[in-house]
A = this chain, B = another copy of it.
Amino acid sequence: MGRKLTMDMDVAHSASASAAPHPPLDQIPAHIETLADYERLAAHHMDAATWRHIQSGAGHGQSLIDNRSCFDRFQLIPQMLTDMTGASTRIDLLGQSYAAPLFLAPVAYLRLAHPDGEIAAIRAATAIGVPMMVSTLSSFRLEDIADAARAAAEALNRPCPPLWFQLYWQADRADNERLIRRAEAAGYGHIVLTIDAAIKRSNFALPHGITAENLRDMQRISVSSTPDDGQILFGSPLMQSAPTWDSLSWLRKTTDLPLILKGILSADDARKAADHGADAIVISNHGGRVLDGLLSPLSALPLIRQAMGPDYPLLIDSGFRTGTDIVKALALGANAVLIGRPQLHALAVAAMPGCAHMLHLLRAELELAMAQLGRTSPAQLGPDLLWSP
């Protein structure tokens, strides 16, 4: 009988988001202490339609809720009085070293949150030592985003974190090849193919001036007429242009870069991904935006880790907001965690500094949690620290 009343205050905020959103703040207010604080504030810094679009989930929002509540199924068992000398959050992944098990997830059109969009996000990420997966649907050109990262690192006299490019499969294979070549040329070292959002419903119209800069001149498909046999979607051009395992085989032959498959939720698909040459996967239900009722990535994680053995790299996203969320995923077998919507929240509230602060908060929370749990490295985060009621 209709949409369940979710007991989440931000949903209520979304309804009251005013038509004239506040501009980004010049200073980060002292009372912002968590990513949830950014989310609460962000409702006032976006117009109502955009806010609804970025916050929404598919269907009745069950997956959206479950992506948060799944963390409550696990509680934490600390080890006290541990000597934390030499403790570190550093991890190795696909042959490279990262300061923390933390990524910016590929998110479309960051200019929805702030005019500086992806440029601001990658500057913030670089300053905090966090890599960003740049979306095919970025609102700046992928080349400009890569340049911004390198410039930021140079200005801070820091190494630039490795660059990752996320690919949405295009109907025309030539377009896919063109995107990959551009990414390679711009210095991206990883290709992340998103496979769980080939087909989805949306009523949201991009505001004037925001476009998919990487896809200018490329062909895009949507469903307009109904094909044979009363079927609506099946048999349509949209359906026919969706990627398959063959697409992955083609992609594996087309580039030598590490390939990461994003959007896996089962052990079978994880095995197939590895068999088709994927170097890593991202366990994800696309933040609950695609099909309502999909199991949460945290639920799928232990099954996939068991199937893939201890060494295959597993990344994860959808619903991560705190340091203990990250701890729980690592304890269940993830190598690293991607952060999605909070990028938009932090950019809307306080531009580049907001995004950097948001990542600083997460890194600080992760260290604090590890210290309080008495674990000195990500490798020490195992299932022994989890308790289920």
Q: Which residues of A contact B (CB under 8 A)?
A: 1-5, 7-11, 13, 30-31, 33-34, 36, 39-40, 55, 59-60, 62-68, 70-85, 87-90, 99-100, 128-129, 195-196, 199-201, 203, 229-235, 239-240, 242-248, 261, 263-266, 268-269, 272, 290-296, 299-300, 319, 321-322, 324, 328, 341, 360, 363-364, 367-373, 387, 389
Contact = CB atoms under 8 A, between A and B. Distances in A.
Contacts of A230: 99-100, 128-129, 363
A31 B203 CA distance: 9
B8 A247 contact: no
Q: Which 9 A-B pairs have the closest CB atoms?
A: A2-B10, A75-B295, A233-B367, A87-B234, A291-B372, A99-B230, A129-B230, A2-B36, A5-B7
Nearest to A247: B81
A68 B129 CA distance: 39
A39 B89 contact: no
B239 A371 contact: yes
Contacts of A296: 75
Nearest to A8: B1
Given A88-B231, A295-B387, A360-B232, A265 B9 contact: no
Given A73-B389, A290-B372, A322 B59 contact: yes
B79 A266 contact: yes
Contacts of A243: 81
B1 A84 contact: no
12 contacts: A1-B64, A2-B10, A5-B9, A30-B203, A33-B203, A77-B265, A81-B243, A200-B372, A232-B360, A290-B372, A291-B372, A299-B387
